[in-house]
């Protein structure tokens, strides 16, 4: 087979993949080479596609619109509630697995190897594949669906990447004067155009990073995700919530009760937390619920926070001290004083002292 014939076969392979993906409810398909990705932030994940599959030649990136209509439940006295961002929380894991299955089955059915790549650097991969470009909020913007898109990646030995020209990794797309996302960030995490200070990012804290005391109020009652920058982005102004998926989505509301989560009720967690937020881990979800309780200011939280002050997880104790300080009750102060006498962790002691100074 000569070069022209080989290229024609490869073109047909890619066209067939795109058709199969569209028929299966996948919105976007892009391909790039399996060359290593170059980036400094290890948050992106694995940067060596070839380490996932010997003789890897291509990376297939499959994307789907993930904005949905939220199902809010109002907070009532004595039963404060948290919230998830209405972007991917209910459906990401199911659709990611669907993308892997559709793409992988198509390629394996034609004699190629294909492996799921859940920890691949997905943002560099989709930019390099030409599906989108970075916005000033450091999230990739696609022409078709804005930045309310989530992606799954497959590494394969199929010669797909030879058809597409790799795009520059740092391709920028926003109008020079637009700062809507930067101004919308509650914590100033967007340190400048196309620059993110991850230590100030609410989403980063909700994945388990320790949140700064002076910024915790900005978390409000969030339990997973923030997306204020995406909601402000003009590229998402016309993106409508997706109503139908080719998979079953998590049938839970977006506002679980905070008291059971902060108390460490695993049965409640299993019933009411969608599969994607569970990737953050039970203890991280509990920590986020404790901060949300501090922001709710409901006196009903005192005894739950008292229990969390005895947790083996330093974050739980530190956040509980902060939350009790915000409640400013005699009972809260007594609990803080008792905890101080028993505490040995320097970070928690600092939180207790700060709480006592304000309670």
Statement: residue 162 has pLDDT above 70: no
What is the β-pairing status of strands 58-65 and 149-156?
antiparallel
What is the mean pLDDT of the segment spanning 225-243? 94
What does the alpha-carbon distance between residue 342 and residue 184 come to, in Å, rounded to a whole number? 41
pLDDT for 119 equals: 80
Please check whether residues 10 and 153 belong to one and the same domain.
yes
70 lies in some domain: yes
Q: Note the maximum CA span of the chain.
A: 84
Statement: residue 5 has pLDDT above 60: no
Statement: residue 6 has pLDDT above 50: no
Where is the domain boundary, 113, 145, 163? 163
**0.95 cut: is pTM over it?**
no
- Looking up residue 354, the CATH number of its domain turns out to be 1.25.10.10
38 lies in some domain: yes
295 φ, ψ (degrees, to nearest 5): -80, -25
Question: Helices then strands (H, E): number in the chain?
Answer: 14, 10
pLDDT for 18 equals: 95
What does the alpha-carbon distance between residue 333 and residue 312 come to, in Å, rounded to a whole number? 21
What does the alpha-carbon distance between residue 265 and residue 234 come to, in Å, rounded to a whole number? 40
Question: Which tens digit of pLDDT belongs to each residue from 7-49?
Answer: 555 678 999 999 999 999 999 999 999 998 876 554 555 678 8
Q: Which residue has the tokens 């060359």?
A: 35
Nearest to 233 by CA among 183, 188, 192, 198: 183
Question: Which tens digit of pLDDT belongs to each residue from 271-314?
Answer: 999 999 999 999 999 999 999 999 999 999 999 999 999 999 99
Question: Which tens digit of pLDDT belongs to each residue from 85-121?
Answer: 988 899 999 999 999 999 999 999 999 999 999 888 8
Please check whether residues 14 and 151 belong to one and the same domain.
yes
* Helix (H) or strand (E) run with residue 285 in it: helix 282-296
What does the alpha-carbon distance between residue 356 and residue 337 come to, in Å, rounded to a whole number? 8
Going by pLDDT thresholds of 50, 70 and 90, the confidence category of residue 192 is confident
pLDDT for 261 equals: 98
Please check whether residues 148 and 30 belong to one and the same domain.
yes
What does the alpha-carbon distance between residue 44 and residue 6 come to, in Å, rounded to a whole number? 34
Question: Which tens digit of pLDDT belongs to each residue from 305-344?
Answer: 999 999 999 999 999 999 999 999 999 999 999 999 999 9
Q: Are 201 and 226 in contact (CB under 8 A)?
A: yes
Question: How far is the first Cα of the chain from the last one, in angstroms, to the nearest whole number?
Answer: 79
Domain that includes residue 321, residue range? 256-358
Q: Are 47 and 115 in contact (CB under 8 A)?
A: no
The total number of structural domains that make up the chain: 2
């Amino acid at each position: 087979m000569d070069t022209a014939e080989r290229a024609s076969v490869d073109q047909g392979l890619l066209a067939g993949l795109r058709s199969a993906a569209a028929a299966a409810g996948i919105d976007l398909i892009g391909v790039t080479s399996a060359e290593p990705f170059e980036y400094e932030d290890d948050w992106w994940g694995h940067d060596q596609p070839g380490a996932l599959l010997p003789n890897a030649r291509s990376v297939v990136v499959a994307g789907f619109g993930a904005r949905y209509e939220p199902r809010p439940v109002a907070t009532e006295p004595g039963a404060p509630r948290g919230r998830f961002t209405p972007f991917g929380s209910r459906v990401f894991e199911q659709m990611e697995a669907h993308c892997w299955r559709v793409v992988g089955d198509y390629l394996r059915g034609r004699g190629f190897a294909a492996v799921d790549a859940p920890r691949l650097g997905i943002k560099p991969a989709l930019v390099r594949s030409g599906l989108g470009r970075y916005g000033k909020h450091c999230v990739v913007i696609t022409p078709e669906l804005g930045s309310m898109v989530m992606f799954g990646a497959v590494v394969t030995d199929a010669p797909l990447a030879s058809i597409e020209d790799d795009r520059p990794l740092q391709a920028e797309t926003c109008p020079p004067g637009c700062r809507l996302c930067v101004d919308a960030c509650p914590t100033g995490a967007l340190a400048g155009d196309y620059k993110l200070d991850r230590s100030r990012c609410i989403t980063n804290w909700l994945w388990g990073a320790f949140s700064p005391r002076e910024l915790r109020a900005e978390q409000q009652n969030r339990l997973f995700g923030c997306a204020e920058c995406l909601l402000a982005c003009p590229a998402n102004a016309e993106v409508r919530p997706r109503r139908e998926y080719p998979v079953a989505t998590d049938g839970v509301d977006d506002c679980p009760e905070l008291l059971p989560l902060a108390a460490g009720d695993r049965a409640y967690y299993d019933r009411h937390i969608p599969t994607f937020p569970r990737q953050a881990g039970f203890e991280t979800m509990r920590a986020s619920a404790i901060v949300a309780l501090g922001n709710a200011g409901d006196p009903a939280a005192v005894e739950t926070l008292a229990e969390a002050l005895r947790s083996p997880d330093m974050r739980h104790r530190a956040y509980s001290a902060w939350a009790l300080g915000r409640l400013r009750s005699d009972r809260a102060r007594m609990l803080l004083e008792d905890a101080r006498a028993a505490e040995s962790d320097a970070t928690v002691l600092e939180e207790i002292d700060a709480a006592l100074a304000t309670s």
